[in-house]
């Protein structure tokens, strides 16, 4: 099969910006949703020649669920002629923006996989993150999604949140085990430049506490039957996020919408931010472009591959910059042989392993 098989559409509208958010979002401006959608579909049409049969579509944001089912259905109808029969269609959902009827409508519109941004089930941690949903809304959204007929329900959570205690983490773990979704993404909070948390002087999480929390999350979810298939992602067998695996396997992908990134045939481009400018461009947004040489692509393949619970395929990745360090990593119990792969302990320090093997500017 030829052509790009993974499509990302950025839907930037949000009711408010969360304290940790550094994404391209547009707060308010919901009256521009239809004009924005027109521009997204125009860009999709302009890029159609790059697409093959699509295995995955991911609707991210922003808060895509603010687009409502009518607009999501219109977007997916535009994409549908190019979808594989078993395509995975994921959409990010904020709990406070949906009820049972809305979730059923998204499913009827063609969304197969619901990714619900929970972050925590603890009220004081939601407040610390400036989240719009209450703990009750977060739980209800997951339960309603499970009843709405999606093929897979995923929830996103954070650890290392300011004020989070070990008891808070255990409480979130207990709710996750009770709800038992098909997929869980559990990330360490990053205090990124320009975010509200950074502006008020929030300190990064304590490294030792975060490492302990991470190990606890991995241990509990594996014990509950989830596969730790990527650094921060866990799935019931067969429910791994196929779209994300496309990124981690360094496949080509097309991104449409404000701020969206594409990587196709050795070239990477990013659409400019700003909804007004994007709408005015009518499918031809301003972009920055970068040609990716083989050395950069090789290093990116290594960076992405070491995030996965998969053997290291040197024939696909290319030789590492420092193959002489394989023996050192084996000696420290971070690398297994037959097949060559990170050990369980190596996965907890994956970034350190990467920098032993590869050079990065």
Q: What is the pTM of this model?
A: 0.96
Task: Specify the CATH number of the domain 4-248.
Answer: 3.20.20.70
- From 37, 86, 42, 81, select the one nearest 59 (Cα to Cα): 37
The pairs formed by 268-277 with CB atoms below 8 angstroms and a separation of 24 or more are 268/292, 271/10, 273/24, 275/12, 275/26, 275/29, 275/32, 275/36, 276/32
Give the distance between the most distant pair of CA atoms in the chain: 60
Question: Please, which residues have CB within 8 angstroms of residue 211's CB and are 6 or more apart in sequence?
Answer: 348
Residue extents of the structural domains in the chain: 4-248, 295-357
Query: Could you tell me the mean pLDDT of each successive run of 10 residues in the chain, 361 residues long?
Result: 91 96 94 98 96 98 98 96 96 98 98 98 97 96 98 98 96 98 97 94 91 98 98 98 98 98 97 96 95 96 97 96 96 95 97 93 46
């Amino acid at each position: 099969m030829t052509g790009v098989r993974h499509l990302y559409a950025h839907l930037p509208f949000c009711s408010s910006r969360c304290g940790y958010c550094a994404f391209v979002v547009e707060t308010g401006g919901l009256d521009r949703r239809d004009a924005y959608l027109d521009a997204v579909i125009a860009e999709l049409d302009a890029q159609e020649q790059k697409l093959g049969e699509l295995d995955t579509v991911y609707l991210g944001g922003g808060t895509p669920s603010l687009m409502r089912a009518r607009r999501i259905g219109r977007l997916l109808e535009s994409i549908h002629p190019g979808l594989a029969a078993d395509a995975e269609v994921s959409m990010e959902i904020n709990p406070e923006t949906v009820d049972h009827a809305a979730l059923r409508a998204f499913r009827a519109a063609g969304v197969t996989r619901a990714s619900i941004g929970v972050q925590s089930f603890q009220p004081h941690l939601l407040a610390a993150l400036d989240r719009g949903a209450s703990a009750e809304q977060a739980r209800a959204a997951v339960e309603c999604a499970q009843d709405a007929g999606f093929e897979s329900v995923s929830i996103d959570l954070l650890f290392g949140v300011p004020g989070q205690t070990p008891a808070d983490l255990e409480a979130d773990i207990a709710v996750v085990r009770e709800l038992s979704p098909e997929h869980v993404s559990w990330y360490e909070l990053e205090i990124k430049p320009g975010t509200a948390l950074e502006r008020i002087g929030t300190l990064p999480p304590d490294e030792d506490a975060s490492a302990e929390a991470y190990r606890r999350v991995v241990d509990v979810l594996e014990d509950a039957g989830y596969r730790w298939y990527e650094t921060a992602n866990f799935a019931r067998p067969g429910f791994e996020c196929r779209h994300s695996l496309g990124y981690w396997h360094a496949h080509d992908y097309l991104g449409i919408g404000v701020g969206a990134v594409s990587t196709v045939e050795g070239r990477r481009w990013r659409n400019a931010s700003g909804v007004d400018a994007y709408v005015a461009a009518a499918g031809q947004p301003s972009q920055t472009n970068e040609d990716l040489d083989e050395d950069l692509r090789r290093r990116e393949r290594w960076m992405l591959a070491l995030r996965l619970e998969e053997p290291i395929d040197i024939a696909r990745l290319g030789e590492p910059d420092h193959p002489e360090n394989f023996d050192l990593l084996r000696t420290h119990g971070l690398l297994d042989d037959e097949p060559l792969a990170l050990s369980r302990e190596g996965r907890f320090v994956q970034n350190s392993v990467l920098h032993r093997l590869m050079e990065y500017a």
